Structures are given as C-alpha cells and as structure tokens.
C-alpha cells in the first residue's frame, strides 16, 4: 500500500506558527476507506492461514466497513457475508449494490437482532451457520485490526523520515477506536496521538486502553498510553450533517482541494481547526491529520446536501467521488 502525505494550505493558518499535513489513506483505493484496508488486511491474512474461505461481518446500509470488506475479500478470493442492520429495500442503495457486485451475500436483520452482534450466544449460532467463515466485528475492530493500524502509523513516520522531516501530533477520527489504538501503538516517543470521538461513547476510552494494553503485553510497546488524548467531535451526533459542518467541508475542499467525509474526517478537521484558532496547540507544532476515507458514504447524503446548500454544491462533491 502507498500512503501519500499532503501539505495543507488553509487561510486560518496564515498568521499562526502551526503547520498541517494530511495522510491520504483515502487515496489507497477508490472509495474504499483507507483505514478499513489497514484493519482488514491482517484479518484476511489470518483467515487464509486458518483455512477460512468466507468472511462475515456487520454494518449499516451505507457502511464503509461493509463496502471495503466486500471489495477486499473479492480481491483476495474469499466469499463475504454482510449482516446488515435494517430492511431489505436498502439493498438498492449504491453502497450495497457495489458490495453485491463484489460477491457479498447480504443478510438483513432487525435493529433488535443487530444489537446482539457481540453476544457470545449469537456469535456461536452465527458460526454454526457459517462454519467456514471468520467472523469480524463491526467496523473491523479487532485486535488484529489494531496491529494493522500500527502499520498505518509506521507508514506515516516512514514517509516523513524519507523527507528528513517529522510530525509532532497525529490526529484521527474515532468510531470504535481500533484505528486510534493502532496509531497510538505505532507512534514515536515524541508524538502525541489525538482521537476525535464522532459519537458520545462512554466506553471508548476503556476500549482503546484495552486494545493498547493487549499490544503492550504481546509486543512490549513502551509508553503507549502516555501518547494518547481523546477529544469530543460529535457535533450533534453520529452521522448528523448540519449546515455548519457542510459549509466547513465545502470551504475545506475549496481551499485545499481535499474532500472530507461527513461522518468522520469532516468533524475531526473542524474540531482541530477550532483548537488551532483558540491557541490549544503550541507554536511550531506540526500536525498530521489522518484522512481515513469514507468518501463513498456521501452517496447516502445527496438529499441532505441539496436541501441545505443546493444542487451546485452536491455536483462539486460528486465530482470528487
């Protein structure tokens, strides 16, 4: 995988001694999220070594994880099964249509049944139904995924090393926390990794610390927990897109040429810019923003975008997809 670093030019930085770059994991594969690839590759390697020929996982109707799983499983010659929260009519949306074209079998379940996705009894029954499948948690968030995202951090620092440069702070949007935990475990001693929580989840910190502790125990990762910070960036709730956030994303696109996704990186970048403008980062800091992808998720946002800012804005977004 090739990970590009891009310097970010933004007028808010003109009078400040803060520099920004973006790690473009979104460019690794068209539409499929970059961090999802890092999370899935170790799972696929494990599946092959253990003799599994199927992958089963969980997601919503526009899930980045389900989309990436279908494409990557197909590329590696594995079957995929998606347990989808919601009604069967969702299969007509572009995310799930692409997943089906990549060979994914879709199974729609009620919200009640979907809530059982982490219960041992439910997983045991699912394994009996698909005995040749590796079951991957929602979002791909397993300990194997943490190891994969440690490589993401190593790739970032390797790129800086080749350029004779370094970065002080690495930021990433947080859902389940596996990507964040992996970045923390891969960070250099002088670096701080900040996870921006895009939903209010009281269990996030404990879950991330558990992921990190397992890496510490198995790989002797030194000083990892001292490198992490968590900031809230939910801006109204998970998957909520209001005009303030949309205006920020469109302005960011105009200034930088980079389209952010509305669920994760858009919220992270807006919060980072608020912190920069309020002086929360010391002068001379270099910050690397991880663009974790998720751009295919825009395809479920068209009605909302058109309602808030009109057709022209949607066409500008669509040009970047």
**Residue 18 and residue 56 share a domain:** no
The CA–CA distances, whole Å, from 213 to 19, 182, 193, 276, 321 equal 32, 11, 16, 31, 38
Same domain? 171 vs 289: yes
Residue whose entry in the numeric block shows the structure tokens 């997983």: 123
> Are 230 and 169 within one domain?
yes
pLDDT at residue 215, as a whole number: 87
Cβ distance 191 to 310 under 8 Å?
A: no
Q: Is the dihedral of CA 59, 206, 291, 281 positive or negative?
A: positive
Predicted confidence at residue 217, as pLDDT, reads: 80
Domain count, the chain: 2
Three-state SS annotation for 48-109? HHCCCCEEEEEECCCCHHHHHHHHHHHHCCCEEEEEEECCHHHHHCHHHHHHHHCCEEEEEE
Regarding whether 234 and 105 lie in a shared domain, the answer is no
230: DSSP letter: E
Judgement on whether residues 113 and 211 belong to the same structural domain of the protein? no
* pTM score above 0.85: yes
Of 122, 140, 158, the position where a domain reaches its end is: 140
Contact 177, 33 (CB under 8 A): no
* Per-residue model confidence (pLDDT) at position 32: 73
Residues 166, 264: one domain? yes
Residues 239 and 112 in one domain: no
- Helix 265-277 vs helix 243-256: crossing angle, to nearest 10: 80
- Domain coverage including residue 107: 34-140
Closest C-alpha to 281, from 99, 29, 16, 10: 16
Name the domain boundary from 140, 157, 186: 140
Whether 110 and 154 map to the same domain: the answer is: no
The domain that contains 212 carries what CATH number?
A: 3.40.50.1100
Which residue do the tokens 């302005």 mark?
A: 251
Closest listed residue to residue 233, CA positions, set 290, 172, 191 = 172
With contact defined as beta carbons under 8 Å apart, do 122 and 112 qualify?
no
Q: Do 103 and 172 reside in the same domain of the chain?
A: no
Whether residues 227 and 286 fall in one domain: yes
Question: Residue 12: what pLDDT?
Answer: 87
Please check whether residues 204 and 220 belong to one and the same domain.
yes
Q: Would you give the DSSP letter of residue 238?
A: T
Q: What is the pLDDT of residue 221?
A: 65
Same domain, 72 and 134: yes
In the chain, which stretches have pLDDT less than 50? none
Q: Which of 106, 140, 174 is the last residue before a domain boundary? A: 140
| Residue 99 and residue 91 in contact, taking contact as beta carbons nearer than 8 Å | no
Residue 30's pLDDT is 65
pLDDT recorded at residue 29: 77
SS3 (DSSP) at 272: helix
């Amino acid at each position: 995988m090739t990970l590009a670093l891009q310097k970010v030019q933004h007028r808010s930085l003109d009078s400040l001694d803060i520099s920004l770059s973006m790690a473009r994991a979104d460019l690794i594969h068209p539409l499929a999220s970059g961090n999802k690839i890092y999370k899935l590759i170790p799972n696929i390697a494990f599946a092959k070594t253990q003799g599994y020929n199927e992958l089963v996982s969980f997601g919503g109707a526009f899930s980045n994880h389900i989309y990436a799983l279908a494409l990557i499983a197909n590329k590696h010659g594995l079957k995929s099964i998606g347990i989808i929260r919601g009604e069967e009519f969702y299969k007509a949306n572009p995310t799930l249509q692409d997943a089906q074209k990549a060979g994914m079998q879709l199974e729609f379940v009620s919200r009640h049944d979907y809530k059982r996705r982490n219960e041992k009894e439910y997983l045991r029954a699912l394994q009996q139904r698909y005995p040749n499948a590796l079951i991957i948690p929602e979002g791909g968030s397993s300990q194997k995924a943490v190891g994969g995202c440690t490589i993401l951090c190593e790739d970032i620092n390797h790129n800086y090393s080749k350029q004779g440069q370094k970065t002080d702070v690495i930021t990433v949007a947080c859902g389940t926390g596996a990507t964040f935990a992996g970045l923390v475990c891969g960070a250099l001693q002088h670096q701080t990794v900040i996870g921006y929580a895009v939903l209010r989840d009281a269990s996030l910190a404990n879950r991330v610390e558990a992921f990190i502790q397992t890496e510490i125990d198995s790989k002797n990762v030194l000083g990892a927990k001292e490198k992490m910070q968590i900031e809230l960036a939910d801006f109204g709730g998970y998957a909520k897109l209001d005009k303030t956030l949309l205006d920020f994303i469109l302005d960011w696109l105009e200034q930088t040429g980079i389209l952010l996704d509305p669920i994760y990186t858009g919220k992270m970048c807006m919060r980072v810019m608020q912190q920069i403008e309020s002086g929360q980062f010391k002068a001379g800091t270099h910050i690397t923003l991880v663009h974790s992808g998720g751009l295919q998720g825009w395809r479920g946002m068209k009605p909302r975008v058109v309602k808030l800012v009109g057709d022209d804005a949607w066409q500008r977004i669509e040009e970047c997809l």
